[in-house]
Amino acid sequence: MKNITIIYLLVFCFTLFSPFLTAQDAPPSTGVFRLQNVATGQYLTTGGGSSQPVTMSAAGDAQNTHWTFVESGAFYNIDSESVTGGTGILRAPGTGGPGGPFVVVSTTKAPPATDTDKTWTIYHNATEDSYRFESRTAGRFMYHEDNGTVTHIAAPDTDDRSNWKLIPFVPVAPDEDTNPDLSCPASGEFQNDNTRVVDIPNAVNVGTADDRTCYADYSESFVYGQTWGVYNITDGSNHWDAPNTLQPRIERSLPRSVETGVGSYARFTGTLRILEAGDTAGTNDDGTYLMQAKGKHTGGGGPADPAICLYLAMPVYGDDGNGNQVQVSFDIVREQITYRGGSGTDGRTIVFLKNVLKDEIVDIELEVGFRADPDNPNLKVHYADIVIGGEAFNWNIPEPERGLESGIRYGAYRVKGGRAQMRWANTTYEKVEVVDNSGSDIVRLQNCATGQFLTAAGGGGQPVTMSGAGEAPNTHWTLVESGAYHNIDSESQTGGTGILRAPGAGGPGGAFVVVSTTKAPPATDTDKTWTVHYDATTDTYRFESRTAGRFLYENPDGTVTHSAVPATDNRSVWKAVSINTALPLDFISFKGQAIKTGTQLNWEIANEINNSYFEILKGNDLNEFQSIGRVRNETGQNYYQFLDQQITNQTSYYKIKQVDFDGQFSFSKIISVKSNAESLVLYPNPVRQNEDFTIESQEGSYQIFNSKGILLKSGTEKTIKMDLEKGVYFLIENNSAQIEKFIVY
């Protein structure tokens, strides 16, 4: 008998189905099929129990008419998908079989099994697309007799009672849209002409919605034990963009990693079910995008916001058993650029990745970022690596040196015929940003008197300014040799992108006010070259405008001039702080504890510069956080606390958003706090790999399952070393059946 655990029924309880038939003399994939006799049109049906003769049915809808093929050495088992009666593989007995001479019977034996009378050889007739099943090498083939019994006998291949059609079983998913009307409702309820950010409160899917379809809005369904984001779009339903320009979509955008140093990345994880994809009768416009890897680049070329590669689901059709062709599976392909900005047939290439079945639950992870070139440590690789159902498909993006950012969008995008339906669950997102300091010494120029940073202006001839933080590119500079002098060159990509100019009394910003330019180094212009004076004792610099006796100077009013001042005036003295030196506020610790009056949060900080306040964010899961209060920064104070007085009977997640006076911000780590009212407490949650994981259970014993309902661990230990892979898991108390979700990262 096939065992089905309680968590399988509670959480995911799903069936996998096959996409298509494979080559001659090979089994027809690992999916679920109905075996229809070519002569009679009836379907092979499992017996009512072990050693009972199999039968035939007029319809192939019941579970006891569903079969899979499992490899067993050089042969195959034919395995029933029934959960009652004959639940195992088919047996082909001899003259003394329990059902009569050579009558095929059911068993309860699970595959794979090598028993001589339970293995079969498969033959495929490619012309007729039909199959014959020989009992091992006996020369006997599965046969539907005139009296209705099923035997294995010596029959020629011209006798269609020994020939069978393999018809994929394609169910209707519980949350599938089967409405034959693909037009937008006449009521206009999904028109949304005033905004594309159409969402529901506390959506389970991460990211900001971009809705450009009037067919349906984003919604959610509870299927297979979890909540899914529903993305349904139809051909011609884009009511937002100009006709025939952009395709319908409901997508979610995620904040991009805008640094390009090795170790920068954007990473998305989620669980996907594809129910339908766009259909244009086999043209190049077939299919629907489920994800995009995004990223801008230097040097121009292509659209302003280019897609590096798009992941496209293309429909694969099969017979539904009634003579109708339906979508039974989907080929996931990568539509990748061949050069930066590439588009069209010349600029993009289609690469097949993997076939997935309709309604198959598939885990997906996409990471876009920069890593070291394994062939040359002085170079880097810009990559888009995806894992689909545990299978990795890595790809290096062309011209990595031109890449400026890494981003991800997901949902459902493009349908030029028919309808597309995507379902997403368990979505998470993170990004890491590492400044690229390769090839040049990029620094922030911090004034020793004020602690502020020299900042490029918004355009040529505009006065430079000062900033409280040195993270933005317009606060980054390089010193470029120009003969006996140096240019001070901005690393900004917009506005004043060039070297600094030190004008005279009639300068465009005022007398001796330093201004930005758009001129690239090296340049020998007298008013754009500087003498660099370095003090090794204090590790500080002064910048003299050539030999004029005037030094780069931050005035009390915030303007920057080149002024004749002594070296003792610290407003003319600067620190050259590497951009690899961390400047933002550091969260040393962040902890939470459930108490009688609520949840007590405590955090410790260091390196406090320009910090305005802390915003406390709370969520019921890792996807959506709401602000529940603020704590004002106190200069020189390192320890802070906040009491969340809302008492709940569930796990709450918290993070701290630190906001600077100039609007820049950073986040603490996420912590979870369990209410004391609950009997089952897991912490920390999320838990890092190889970290101690504590399970406080009143029942004592428990089991741990993955997101597919497979039992991974059981025990009674209160603390275990977390050795599971990254992902979402469920823990169930054995006696109470209470279930808690936890995340490993």
Domain boundary among 653, 672, 691: 672
Catalytic residue among 294, 431, 618, 674: 294
Is 383 a known active-site residue? no
pTM of the predicted structure, to 2 decimals: 0.53
| Other beta carbons within 10 Å of 481 | 11
Is 289 a known active-site residue? no
| Other beta carbons within 10 Å of 184 | 19
Same domain, residue pair 24 and 163 = yes
Task: Give CB contacts under 8 A, 24+ apart, made by 591-594.
Answer: 591/671, 592/654, 592/671, 592/672, 592/673, 593/673, 594/673, 594/674, 594/675, 594/676
Model confidence over 246-282: pLDDT tens digits?
A: 899 999 999 999 888 899 999 999 999 999 999 998 7
Same domain, residue pair 159 and 212 = no
User: Does residue 267 form part of some domain?
Assistant: no
Same domain, residue pair 416 and 281 = yes
Model confidence over 303-352: pLDDT tens digits?
A: 778 899 999 999 998 877 677 888 989 999 999 999 988 887 788 999 99
User: Does residue 153 form part of some domain?
Assistant: yes
Distance CA 36, CA 132 (A): 11
Residue 16 is predicted with a pLDDT of 31
Same domain, residue pair 222 and 342 = yes
Q: Is the pLDDT of residue 299 over 80?
A: no
Whole-number average pLDDT of the chain: 87
Model confidence over 656-671: pLDDT tens digits?
A: 888 776 565 667 777 8
Non-local (6+) Cβ contacts of 150 within 8 A are: 44, 53, 54, 55, 56, 103, 104, 142, 143, 144
Catalytic residue among 383, 410, 413, 702: 413
Distance CA 525, CA 489 (A): 14
Which is more confident, 484 or 308?
308
The helix/strand/coil state of 562 is: strand
User: Does residue 177 form part of some domain?
Assistant: no
Which is more confident, 78 or 653?
78
Distance CA 315, CA 282 (A): 9
Q: What is the mean pLDDT of residues 81-99?
A: 94
Same domain, residue pair 517 and 562 = yes
Distance CA 41, CA 339 (A): 53
Return the closest-CA partner of residue 332 out of 368, 359, 356: 356
Q: Provide the domain count of the chain.
A: 5
User: Does residue 249 form part of some domain?
Assistant: yes
Same domain, residue pair 278 and 422 = yes
List the structure tokens of 17.
């189905």
Residue 194's Cβ-count burial label (10 Å; 0-12, 13-18, 19+) is exposed
Instruction: Measure the CA angle with vertex 538, ends 536 and 540; round to 5°.
Output: 80
Residue 237 is predicted with a pLDDT of 96
Same domain, residue pair 294 and 215 = yes
Return the closest-CA partner of residue 535 out of 515, 551, 548, 523: 551
User: Does residue 377 form part of some domain?
Assistant: no
Distance CA 371, CA 396 (A): 10
On whether the CB atoms of residues 369 and 383 are closer than 8 A, the answer is yes
Backbone phi, then psi, for 666, in 5-degree steps?
Answer: -150, 165
Give the length of the chain.
Answer: 745
Residue 1 is predicted with a pLDDT of 31
Return the closest-CA partner of residue 302 out of 196, 404, 380: 404
Return the closest-CA partner of residue 152 out of 164, 139, 165: 139
Q: Which amino acid is at 378?
A: N
Same domain, residue pair 469 and 495 = yes
Q: What is the mean pLDDT of residues 95-122?
A: 96
User: Does residue 10 form part of some domain?
Assistant: no
Same domain, residue pair 591 and 569 = no
> What's the CATH code of the domain at 614?
2.60.40.10
User: Does residue 646 form part of some domain?
Assistant: yes
Domain boundary among 672, 704, 725: 672
Q: What is the mean pLDDT of residues 208-230?
A: 96
Secondary structure (DSSP) of 243-259: TTTS--EEEEE---B--
Which is more confident, 415 or 633?
415
Per-residue burial over 718-741, b = 16 or more CB atoms within 10 Å of its CB, e = otherwise: eeeebebeebbbbbbbeeeebbbb
User: Does residue 386 form part of some domain?
Assistant: no
Domain boundary among 645, 672, 699: 672
Domain coverage including residue 505: 443-578
The helix/strand/coil state of 161 is: helix
DSSP3 helix / strand / coil % (the chain, rounded to 5)? 5, 45, 50
